[in-house]
Amino acid sequence: MKLRETNVGRSIFRSPDRKTERDRAAGHWSSFLLHIYPVKVRREELHFRYSWYLGVASTVLLASLVVSGVYLMFFYVPSPTTAYGDMQTIQTEVAFGQFIRNVHRWSAHLMVITVAAHMARVFYRGAYKPPREFNWVIGVFLLILTLLLSFTGYLLPWDQLAYWAVTVGTSMADFVPFIGGSAREVLVGGDQVGAATLIRFYVLHVALLPLIMVAFLLVHLWRWRKDAMLDQERPGMGLGPHAGEEGGVGAPPGSGKQGGGE
């Protein structure tokens, strides 16, 4: 007797049989992780050339950053007196410390690239056009959040590279008229980069920005699924190479009908 056919298995998986396509669709809706996906997509979306899979790559890199980041947090105290020593301890004494730190850093750099490239690919596919405008805007914010997360993390090793890169980066804020000087002071917590900056960047990096990022990402994925289902209800809305040429797409999005699918 298989697990999914027992009482316990049934209560968890809900759909004991997956023989027909319809069973699979039903099982789909009962799985939490799968429910972020639509049930069906157009065949063209399967090809590498459609999306270059850059959205998936960015999400996987984010997951790798969360896991490696939490591990590193256990060995790092965000204070100038301890930070650099903790980095040395991580690289020499902590189990897999150097390796996890490397993975965290290369994932971060790569994620900046994949998120920016994802955006470019979406542009060339025209996938920011109605009804997807607002998801593009969310995407712009996700790119900015990625840059800010990368930048705040850059300070944490508290070495010369970190210190001066952040000094240069934050000094740009000074040029913003009126609010620039005070914005910089709030961020840096004083005249120059120091203990106050380190704790602020740390909390931004490990708590505040990730919270905002995850919230935006959930909305981004949710709208992606909605839009994929929208396509299927109104064939004219597809993203194929000839989309929009027959007209009929100029109609304002968001009539009462569109939400019916889910």
Partner 1 sequence: MSDTDPREVEGKRLLGIVPGQPATGERKVPEEQDLVTVWPHLLVRHAVVGVAVLLFVLILGILFDAPLREVANPFETPNPEKAPWYFAALQELLSHFHPLVAGVLVPGAVIVGMIALPYIDRNPAARPALRKVAVVVFTSFLVVWILLTLIGFAFRGENWGWVWPWDEWHGEL
Contacts with a copy of itself by CB under 8 A lie at 7-8, 10-17, 20, 22-23, 25-30, 32, 35, 66, 70, 73-79, 82, 130-131, 133-134, 199-200, 203, 206-208, 211, 218-219, 222-223, 226, 252-260, 262
Shortest distance, position 219 Cβ to partner 1, whole Å? 15
Shortest distance, position 143 Cβ to partner 1, whole Å? 8
Instruction: Select 117 or 225, whichever has its Cβ closest to a copy of itself.
Output: 225
Instruction: Supply 131's token pair.
Output: 């009804």
Instruction: Select 57 or 206, whichever has its Cβ closest to partner 1.
Output: 57
Instruction: Select 41 or 195, whichever has its Cβ closest to a copy of itself.
Output: 195
CA dist., res. 255 & res. 250, Å (int): 13
Dihedral angle over CA of 41, 42, 43, 46, nearest 10:
-50
Q: Which does 161 bind (CB under 5 to 8 A by kind): a copy of itself, partner 1, none?
A: partner 1
Instruction: Select 167 or 258, whichever has its Cβ closest to partner 1.
Output: 167
Residue type, 210: P
Q: Which does 10 bind (CB under 5 to 8 A by kind): a copy of itself, partner 1, none?
A: a copy of itself
Shortest distance, position 104 Cβ to partner 1, whole Å? 8
Dihedral pair phi/psi, residue 231, rounded to 5°: -50, -45
Shortest distance, position 20 Cβ to a copy of itself, whole Å? 8
Q: Which does 70 bind (CB under 5 to 8 A by kind): partner 1, a copy of itself, none?
A: a copy of itself
Q: Which does 257 bind (CB under 5 to 8 A by kind): partner 1, a copy of itself, none?
A: a copy of itself
Residue 174, CA atoms < 13 Å, CB-side half-sphere: 10
Are 61 and 76 spatial neighbours (Cβ–Cβ below 8 Å)? no
Dihedral pair phi/psi, residue 189, rounded to 5°: 75, 35
Residue 253: is the preceding peptide bond cis (ω within 30°)?
no
Q: Which does 142 bind (CB under 5 to 8 A by kind): a copy of itself, partner 1, none?
A: none
User: How would you class 140 by CB atoms within 10 Å of its CB: exposed for 0-12, middle for 13-18, buried for 19 or more?
Assistant: exposed
CA dist., res. 253 & res. 228, Å (int): 14
CA dist., res. 56 & res. 58, Å (int): 5
Shortest distance, position 163 Cβ to partner 1, whole Å? 4
Shortest distance, position 82 Cβ to partner 1, whole Å? 11
DSSP 8-state assignment for residue 67 = H
Q: Which does 216 bind (CB under 5 to 8 A by kind): partner 1, a copy of itself, none?
A: none
